[in-house]
Amino acid sequence: MQNELSKQIISSFAEIAHEKGIERDMLLSILEDVFRTMIRKKYETDDSFEVILNADRGEIQILHVQEVVPEEELTDEVAEITLEDAKKVDPDAELYDELAQEIQITDFGRRAVMMARQQLAQRIREIEKDNIYDDYTDRVGEIILGDVYQVRHNKDILVNHNGVELLMPKKEQIYKDRYRKGDTIRAVVIGVHMKNGNPTVIISRTSELFLERLFENEIPEVFDGIIDLVKIARSPGDRSKVAVLSHDERVDPVGACVGMKGIRIHAIVRELQNENIDVINYTPDKHEFIKRALQPAEVLKVELSEDQSQANVLVPADEVSKAIGKGGVNIRLASKLTEAEIDVYREVEEEDDIDINEFEVDFGEEVIEMLHEIGCDTARAVLDLNEDELVSRTDGKIDEELAERIMSIIAYEFEDES
């Protein structure tokens, strides 16, 4: 009965430990701790006991080692045994010998054995949690491939990766992504947090780190360190700008990243739901870097503040929309990439135009500020748009009625001049 029970305990938990990646020595140490706890609960101490584990044979042996003493010297019934009682176990026992008796696991009682099983299972779970935390902490910045097994009501996605549950919150998903249970998902590990003793592994597809790792996977020169990704700015699912620098003058960093006929960059674009990626040659010259960052717009002139944190950029009148981009995405990413707040101005003939600030009395400071934000710094810049464009570019902050009034007043000024 003893051997059968011990084999059941060892084999069942050895299998679990193997599945959870727990080393054999660690399992044996846990088993010994659990049995010593059982001993302490029954005898209040485990000093006089030896726990011998044989994982290969699936055996657990618990020995109670006592010193044989005369009856009148007996002071500790756990550590000592009288000669009379010792001879009942071993007729050859003599005074001051050490007598070892094997204790059956069943002697501890069914309840104690059941509690030991529970304690052992709990210890294995705790080690598994620690292993997950350590493993995925080391994997931060690494791309993983997993399977979606649950999409929550709040759109958070739970992903199975080698039996471990990973979390991709809604904010870490590209807004164009659509996943169902069973779909394969690729993302980057961005962090591991302990909450109520449980590790939560966070993965992301919107992180700039994800784009960086995709470049490393698809472009050998980046992986090998020949090309550096100096700076990345992303608007996930819409547009990204990547500043690159080559450490080998024979290697064109932009050409290497784009690939022949765009084959390399297209693989990344597809993974990111057709996110447009501008690959830009990095330069420490801030003026030139800002010009490159605003592509595809043509830039005529860049004026930087003394601390280079602000830039006034002049572009041809028909390039303003390109410089700003849909919803302001191009200018936003260029500002982030170059670490400078960029304001775009159009090229105009001063005698044939009126500064938009001249209309502050008519429209108010808030409206003038909104017009500046969409690149309308002069009256003709506003007239180059129609009323619908005024509404859409300001995300409806300027409504149709106000747009009509703005157009009417500005148009009247030019009619009056003529």
From 52, 56, 1, select the one nearest 31 (Cα to Cα): 52
Per-residue pLDDT reduced to its tens digit, 185-220: 999 999 999 888 889 999 999 999 999 999 999 999
The 10 Å Cβ neighbour count of residue 382 is: 22
Per-residue pLDDT reduced to its tens digit, 362-373: 888 999 999 998
How far, in Å, CA of 277 to CA of 335, rounded?
Answer: 16
Give me 386's structure tokens: 């129609």
pTM above 0.85, yes or no: no
b/e string for 65-83 if b means 16 or more Cβ within 10 A? ebbbbeeeeeeeebbbbbb
Residue 351, pLDDT score: 55
For residue 154, with 0-12 CB atoms within 10 Å meaning exposed, 13-18 middle and 19 or more buried, which class applies?
exposed
Residue 392, pLDDT score: 87
Per-residue pLDDT reduced to its tens digit, 272-299: 999 999 999 999 999 999 999 999 999 9
